[in-house]
Structure 1
C-alpha cells in the first residue's frame, strides 16, 4: 500500500539517497560518537537505524515526531566538537515534547545536505496534509506494522495481531466475518485496497451515522438545508447561512458527485466533525483576538522557573536547549541564575548543587535567536544575580552586545511612567528583571552602590520559608550585595523589590517595581487578604515561583495564583503533568503569544473580587456546563505487553476559584481503546467562568493499582464551543497523539 508521503516524493533524489541508507555518527558526548546505519523506510514516514554494534538491534523514529532539523554546530554537544567535525557535515534533529535531540554527523557534506533537505521536505509535507491524507497515512502505517512477512498482504492471523496492536479486543468470529467480507479476491488474505475496506468496516462510527440520519431528509445525505438545521440546532451557530453550509460541503465532502449536488455524505460529515471547525476549541480564539494595548500588569504572562534545567534541581543537566524549548512553547519570562565563573565569564546553574554549568553568554545568545520566533511580544529575562561586580560588568556587556536593539534600555517614551507600557508598546523588546540602584526617577552617578538588606528574591524567600532562628534571620538580612551601574541601568520596567505588604505597596509602590514570592507566601496572602492581592496585581507585576523543597522540579497548581491576578506564575517547564497542562491550556489561545488579558474584575484598581466569595462580585454570572461524553477513538495503548487492551474512562476536571474546583468521571469500558462508547452526561456549576479551565483526562482503569494516563486536553471554559465536538487528545508531554480523540456534546446555560 503506497503511503501519501511516498506518492508525493517519487523521484526525489534526496529521499532516494535516504532510502539507500547511510552511515552516520550518532553523537551523545565528546566520548560517545558511534557510527550507525540510518535508512528511510519504504513508507517515507519512518527512519530506522541500527542501535548497537551487533547490527541485530534496531530502532526507529517517526518523521512526524521531528519538529525541526538544525544544520551545523547548533547543539551544545556539536559545539564542543567543532574542531573535530566540520559544520557542513553536522545536523541536529529536534523532537517534539520532551524527547532529547539527536545529533548526527555525516561522512560528507553532500550526504548531510541530502538528509537535512530530505527530512525538512518530509516534515513540511506531513504538516501540510489535510485530515483525510493524515488518516490515509495512519492506515498505511498500521498496514506496514501488521504485514509481518512484508509480502504486501495480510492473512487472518496478522489481522488478529493488528486488532490487538490497535487496542481493540474484538470477537474473533466477528473479526473473521469482516475479514471475509473485505477479501473480495477470496485469497484468504487482504491486499492493500482490501485492507482499506476492512479498516472502514472496522472503524464505522455508529454514533456519527445515527446523528447523520437524524438530520438527513432521506437518510442518505445532508442537503444544504439539512446541514443548516444541524449547525443551528446542535452547534448553536445562530448566524449560520446557506453560504456557510455550502462552504463546509466544499471543504470537507470527499465525493465530487455529492459536491456538485450540494450535499454532504456521512464521510464528509465525519470529516467536518473531526476538523478544527468541529473541535471543542473556539476557532476565533486561535488567532490574536485580545486587546494588547493595556498595561503589562493586566496580562497573565507565560513564565518559566529555573529555565536552564532539563531535569531535577539537584544534579540534573543545565542546557541552552531548555531556553529554546521554553521560548518555542510560548514562554515570555525566562529565569537565569548567574554565578561567577572561571576565566572571568559568568555561568548559569542552580547554585550550591551538582547541576551542570553553562555560559551566561550562550544563554543570552539562545534567547536572542529564539525570543520572537513564536511571539512578537516582549520577553522578560529574570536575573537571579549572585555575581561579583566584575562579572556583573561582563553580564551587562553581553546583554548589550548580544541582544542589540532588542534590549530595552530606557522607557518607551523617555518619561517616568505612571503605569506600565503595554505588550503592543514593547513588541520585539527584551526586558531585564533584576535589582536596580534607585529608581527611574533618580539620576544615579555612582559606579557602585551597596544594597543593604537586599538579597536575591528567591534566596530571601527560601530562607524565610525555613524554620530559621532569629539570629540566622538577622545574619541573612545583614547581607549586602554590590550592584554595578551598567547592569542596574538595564533594568527599566521590572525592578525587583522586597515585598513589604499591601499597605506599603499602595502608599509608596511604583508601577515598575515588582516582587517575587514563593508559592507558600503567595498562598498565605491569597488566604488572608485575597481582595488586596487582586488590587495590588491590578497596579504592579507579581512573580510566583515553586518552593525550595521541590528539588525534583515538580510544580504547584498555578490556578490559585491566577485567581488573584498574579501575572508571572513561574513553572518548571521541563516537568510534565497537570500543572503544565493547565499552563498550556490557558496560553494556547490568543495566537499562543504568551500574553492573556486578565478578566476585567482582576484589572480594576478598586476591585472587590474575592476568589473565595465569587457570589459577592458585581460581575457574578454563574453558568451550568453539561457535557455528554459520547465516545472515544483510537486511544493509544498504555501497556506495550502483547495482548493488553485498555479499559478507558474519562474524567472531567474543573480548575478555577475554590467553589469551581471539581472532578467527575464516567464508568470504564472493558477491553476497548479503539471505539469505546460511554454515552454519559456530567453536570458542573461554574461560578467564575472567566477563570475556569476544563481538563479532559482519559485513563486506563485498574482495580489493583493507580490508573494509567492515556491522554488529556485542557482549555479555558470561555473558549469552549457548544454542540457535537471532537477533542483531539494530547500526550503527557503536551504533543498531539492523532488520531486519538473524544467525541462529546456540550451545552452551556446561564444560572439565574
Structure 2
C-alpha cells in the first residue's frame, strides 16, 4: 500500500512541477519504484523470494575437492545476488536454473549430496556455471523457484523497463554513500562511468536545471530529469520533426513516414494504427490517433524498429526439402570448453551448443577403461568424458529449442567391442528418437527433409554397405580405412599416424547409421558417377578452399545432391575459427565451428542462424539447390538471374556504448565498421571516422556504400571499436545479420557482446 502512496505522491509532485510531462516522467521513474511496484508487490505473497531476501548459507562447488560455504542473499533491488564479500550475480546474466545433479561437477559429488539439495545457475554466453548445494531440500526449492521467478520477470520486461533498470543500476553505482541522492562530484564520476566526457560547465548547468529542490543534490525524480536532459535524442527528434507538427505525428503523418522512409508495404493504415496502440504512452494522444515523440522513440527502439525484420524471426522457410538443401548449424569438437590441446572436455559443451540451436555435434570416441568408450581429443592432454554421458546430454537437450533433427557426427576410434557398447548406449538412452531405419520402408531416391525428421537424432559415421543392402538384409563386418585423422595429430605426433590404420566396424554401430554414411572423398567426377545421396564427405578447411578455388561450380553442384562437412584445421590449436561464409559460398551444409570460441566466425554463424526461428536450418538459395544450374561463387555475374544490389548505410549515432577499459577515467573513441561477408566479389568493409571521448551518445552521420553481387548469400556485420592510435582497436560490440533480413529505413541495431549476448541499452542508429 505504501508503494501505491509513493507512486501517487510522485505523480502529484511531478504534475505540479512539470505539468503535461508528469505522466512521461512517472513512466521513467518506473525503475526507482521497481522494487516497491513490480518485484516487491509480486513478492509479498512469494515465500521463495522472501527467503532469498533473508539469505542462506550454501556450498559453492567447483570440484569434488573444492567445496566452500558461502552466504548468498538477494538484494533489495531484486536484480542482484551477493555472496562472499561483495561478489555479485546479476539476474540479467542468468539464463536458466537446473535442478538436481545436472552438471558434471554436481554429478561428481552425487554420493555426498542428494539431488534435491543441488542446483545450478546457468549463465548466458560462455561464462561458467555456478553449482550450489543448499542445507536442505526445502531451501534448495526456494532458491530454484525464486530464481525462475526473477528470470521470468526480467524476460517479461519491456524496452522502457529495461532502460529504467539500466538507469537505476548507474544511480546505485554513483551514489557512493547510499543516501539516495547525488552531489555534483558524484554526478561527474557517474558521467565518466557512463562513457561521457562532458564539459564541466555544461554538466553543472544540467545539474542545476535538474536540481528543482535547490538542495545541491539530485534525488530520484531529479536524477531522472537530469538523465532525460543528458540523453536528448536530437538525431531521432530531427526525423520526428520532418513528419510531425513538432508535437505529434498524426496517423496520416505516421503512414507517410512508414511508406516513404521505412519503405514498408502491406496495409500501412492498419500498421500505423497498431504502432500507436502498442508504443504510444499517452492515452490522450491515442484518443487522437496520434504519436508523440516518446511513442516514436519507443517504436524505433523496439523489435519492430530494429534492423532485423521481425517477419523473419519465426520459421518462414519451406522445411520440406531434402537435408542437403539447407545450411545446418554445426559444431566441431563439441565436447571441448577451451583449446584442443589441454582444454577441458565436458558434456556442458553439448548442452550449450544445442541450446544455441546447433543441429550437428561432433563426438570423438576412443576406448576407455572398464569397457566404457570415452570422448576426448585423441593424442592430446584434453580431459576425458564418458560416451554414455554425452549421449544422455544430447538426448536431454536435443529438442529444447528446435524440433528439427540433430546429427551426431561420430569419429570412431574404438575397438569392435567398445563400438558395440556405443551402439547399446545409443539405442538404450535415445530409444525411439534414434533414427534406425528409413522412413517409409522403401528405397529412397533423396534425403528426407527436416520436417520429415522432426524429433529424430541421426548418426553420421562409417557404415558397412549402404541403404540398399540394409533393406535387403545384407550386412556384415568388414575392414574399413579410417580415413579421417585429425590434422592436429599429424602436427603433434607425426610418427603415430604415418599410415592409415585399419579398423573393424561392428554391425551394431553400423546399423545405427542410415542417411549419413561417412565416406572418403575422391573427386567431384567420382562422386558424380558413383556417390549415393546418403553419403557424407568431410573436408578440412584447407581442402575445402582448394576445391572451391579449383572447381567452385562443381563443389556447389555436388552439395545440391549430398551433404558435405567442413571442419577447422588441426593447426588451430587455440580452437579458433575460420569464417564459415567461404564454405557456405560452396553450398557446404555442415560447416562445423568451435562454438566455445568467440569472434568473427561465430558472429557470422550466429547471424545466419538467427533467422527462421533459430531452428538450426536455413534454406539455401534456389541457384544452389537445383541440379541443372551451375553457380560459380567466383563469377556470380554469370548467373542467369544476376541482379546486384547497392547497399547504402548511414551510420547516424550510438547510444550508451559499454566501456572497454576498467579505468574509471577511460572513455571510448568509437568508430563503426560495416563488413559485408559473401562471395569473393562481395567481401568488403568500410569504416566511419572515430568520435573522440564519447561512448555515450556519439554522432557520425557517415554514409557507406556497397555493391553486392549475390545478395542471397550476403551477411552484414556491424562492429563498434574503440580507436587507438598506437595499438589494435578494442572490441566494443557487434551485430550480424543476413542482408535478406535487413529492414530498410531508420533502424536501431541492438549490439551484442563478444560472447554474443545482448548488452542493453547499447545500440547504433542507422538509416538505409
- TM-score calculated relative to the size of structure 2: 0.93
DSSP 3-state at the match of 1:152: coil
Do the aligned partners of 2:307 and 2:744 also contact (CA within 8 Å) in 1? yes
Do the aligned partners of 1:389 and 1:482 also contact (CA within 8 Å) in 2? yes
Deviates more, 1:505-514 or 1:239-248: 239-248
Q: Which residue of 2 aligns with 1:509?
A: 531
Deviates more, 1:236-245 or 1:334-343: 236-245
For residues 347 and 448 of structure 1, the distance between their equivalents in structure 2, rounded to whole angstroms, comes to: 25
Deviations 1:306-350 (A, max 9, x none): 000000001100000000000000100000000111111111000
Deviations 1:48-74 (A, max 9, x none): 111xxxxxx421121010000111111
* Aligned pairs for 1:104-253 within 5 A: 104-216=132-244, 218-253=245-280
* Aligned pairs for 1:627-706 within 5 A: 627-706=649-728
For residues 6 and 696 of structure 1, the distance between their equivalents in structure 2, rounded to whole angstroms, comes to: 39
Q: 1:447 to 1:689 in 2, by over 3 A?
A: closer
Q: 1:555 to 1:427 in 2, by over 3 A?
A: same
Given candidates 2, 9, 15, the residue that maps to 2:49 is: 15
Q: Which residue of 1 aligns with 2:412?
A: 385
Report the Cα offset of residue 606 of structure 1. 2.5
Do the aligned partners of 1:155 and 1:190 also contact (CA within 8 Å) in 2? yes
Q: Is 1:296–2:323 an aligned residue pair?
A: yes
Report the Cα offset of residue 458 of structure 1. 3.7
Q: Is 1:78–2:112 an aligned residue pair?
A: no
Q: Which residue of 2 aligns with 1:36?
A: 70
Q: Is 1:274–2:274 an aligned residue pair?
A: no
Given candidates 437, 450, 453, the residue that maps to 1:410 is: 437
For residues 181 and 451 of structure 1, the distance between their equivalents in structure 2, rounded to whole angstroms, comes to: 84
DSSP 3-state at the match of 2:505: strand
Q: Is 1:357–2:387 an aligned residue pair?
A: no
Given candidates 474, 495, 499, the residue that maps to 1:476 is: 499
Report the Cα offset of residue 525 of structure 1. 0.3
DSSP 3-state at the match of 2:629: coil
Q: 1:186 to 1:467 in 2, by over 3 A?
A: closer
Report the Cα offset of residue 448 of structure 1. 5.2
Do the aligned partners of 2:464 and 2:475 also contact (CA within 8 Å) in 1? no
Given candidates 369, 380, 386, the residue that maps to 2:396 is: 369
Given candidates 277, 282, 288, the residue that maps to 1:261 is: 288
Deviations 1:149-187 (A, max 9, x none): 111111111111111111111111111111111111111
DSSP 3-state at the match of 1:355: coil
Report the Cα offset of residue 457 of structure 1. 2.1
Q: 1:136 to 1:395 in 2, by over 3 A?
A: same
For residues 157 and 42 of structure 1, the distance between their equivalents in structure 2, rounded to whole angstroms, comes to: 26
Report the Cα offset of residue 468 of structure 1. 8.4
Q: Is 1:496–2:526 an aligned residue pair?
A: no
Q: Which residue of 1 aligns with 2:349?
A: 322
Q: Is 1:332–2:351 an aligned residue pair?
A: no
For residues 141 and 725 of structure 1, the distance between their equivalents in structure 2, rounded to whole angstroms, comes to: 26
Do the aligned partners of 1:135 and 1:739 also contact (CA within 8 Å) in 2? yes
Deviations 1:571-626 (A, max 9, x none): 00000000000000111000000000000111011222111111111121100000
Q: 1:160 to 1:252 in 2, by over 3 A?
A: same
Q: Which residue of 2 aligns with 1:53?
A: none
Report the Cα offset of residue 451 of structure 1. 2.4
DSSP 3-state at the match of 2:63: coil
Q: Which residue of 2 aligns with 1:69?
A: 97
For residues 64 and 502 of structure 1, the distance between their equivalents in structure 2, rounded to whole angstroms, comes to: 50
Do the aligned partners of 2:465 and 2:475 also contact (CA within 8 Å) in 1? no
For residues 5 and 309 of structure 1, the distance between their equivalents in structure 2, rounded to whole angstroms, comes to: 41
For residues 750 and 407 of structure 2, the distance between their equivalents in structure 1, rounded to whole angstroms, comes to: 32
Report the Cα offset of residue 211 of structure 1. 0.9
For residues 632 and 240 of structure 2, the distance between their equivalents in structure 1, rounded to whole angstroms, comes to: 46
Report the Cα offset of residue 389 of structure 1. 0.6
Q: Which residue of 1 aligns with 2:334?
A: 307
For residues 569 and 299 of structure 1, the distance between their equivalents in structure 2, rounded to whole angstroms, comes to: 11
Do the aligned partners of 1:5 and 1:45 also contact (CA within 8 Å) in 2? no
Do the aligned partners of 1:511 and 1:539 also contact (CA within 8 Å) in 2? yes
Do the aligned partners of 2:322 and 2:448 also contact (CA within 8 Å) in 1? yes
How many residue pairs were aligned?
Answer: 733
Do the aligned partners of 2:35 and 2:76 also contact (CA within 8 Å) in 1? no
Structure 1: runs of 5+ lacking an equivalent = 51-56, 747-752
Do the aligned partners of 2:603 and 2:756 also contact (CA within 8 Å) in 1? yes
Given candidates 51, 60, 71, the residue that maps to 1:26 is: 60
For residues 430 and 588 of structure 2, the distance between their equivalents in structure 1, rounded to whole angstroms, comes to: 28
Do the aligned partners of 2:488 and 2:573 also contact (CA within 8 Å) in 1? no
Deviations 1:345-401 (A, max 9, x none): 111000111111111000000000000011000000000001111111110010001
DSSP 3-state at the match of 1:714: strand
Q: Which residue of 1 aligns with 2:606?
A: 584
Q: Which residue of 2 aligns with 1:560?
A: 582
Q: 1:265 to 1:195 in 2, by over 3 A?
A: same
Do the aligned partners of 1:30 and 1:77 also contact (CA within 8 Å) in 2? yes
Report the Cα offset of residue 456 of structure 1. 4.5
* Aligned pairs for 1:614-629 within 5 A: 614-629=636-651
DSSP 3-state at the match of 1:100: coil
For residues 490 and 647 of structure 2, the distance between their equivalents in structure 1, rounded to whole angstroms, comes to: 42
Q: Which residue of 2 aligns with 1:750?
A: none
Do the aligned partners of 2:259 and 2:268 also contact (CA within 8 Å) in 1? no
For residues 515 and 461 of structure 2, the distance between their equivalents in structure 1, rounded to whole angstroms, comes to: 10
Q: 1:642 to 1:464 in 2, by over 3 A?
A: closer
For residues 534 and 354 of structure 1, the distance between their equivalents in structure 2, rounded to whole angstroms, comes to: 38
Q: Which residue of 2 aligns with 1:487?
A: 509
Q: 1:536 to 1:133 in 2, by over 3 A?
A: same
Report the Cα offset of residue 445 of structure 1. 6.8
For residues 433 and 482 of structure 1, the distance between their equivalents in structure 2, rounded to whole angstroms, comes to: 17
Q: 1:465 to 1:531 in 2, by over 3 A?
A: farther
For residues 278 and 688 of structure 1, the distance between their equivalents in structure 2, rounded to whole angstroms, comes to: 26
Report the Cα offset of residue 20 of structure 1. 1.7
Do the aligned partners of 1:462 and 1:518 also contact (CA within 8 Å) in 2? no
Q: 1:191 to 1:463 in 2, by over 3 A?
A: closer
For residues 571 and 320 of structure 1, the distance between their equivalents in structure 2, rounded to whole angstroms, comes to: 17
Q: Which residue of 2 aligns with 1:542?
A: 564
Q: Which residue of 1 aligns with 2:21?
A: none
Structure 2: runs of 5+ lacking an equivalent = 1-30
Do the aligned partners of 1:698 and 1:711 also contact (CA within 8 Å) in 2? yes
Report the Cα offset of residue 446 of structure 1. 8.0
Given candidates 594, 600, 615, the residue that maps to 1:572 is: 594
Report the Cα offset of residue 89 of structure 1. 1.3
For residues 161 and 140 of structure 1, the distance between their equivalents in structure 2, rounded to whole angstroms, comes to: 15
Report the Cα offset of residue 465 of structure 1. 9.3
Moved over 6 A (4+): 444-447, 461-469
For residues 753 and 664 of structure 2, the distance between their equivalents in structure 1, rounded to whole angstroms, comes to: 21
Q: Which residue of 2 aligns with 1:522?
A: 544
Given candidates 79, 91, 96, the residue that maps to 2:124 is: 96
| C-alpha RMSD of the superposition | 1.7
Q: Is 1:598–2:628 an aligned residue pair?
A: no
For residues 735 and 6 of structure 1, the distance between their equivalents in structure 2, rounded to whole angstroms, comes to: 29
Q: Which residue of 1 aligns with 2:32?
A: 2
- TM-score calculated relative to the size of structure 1: 0.95
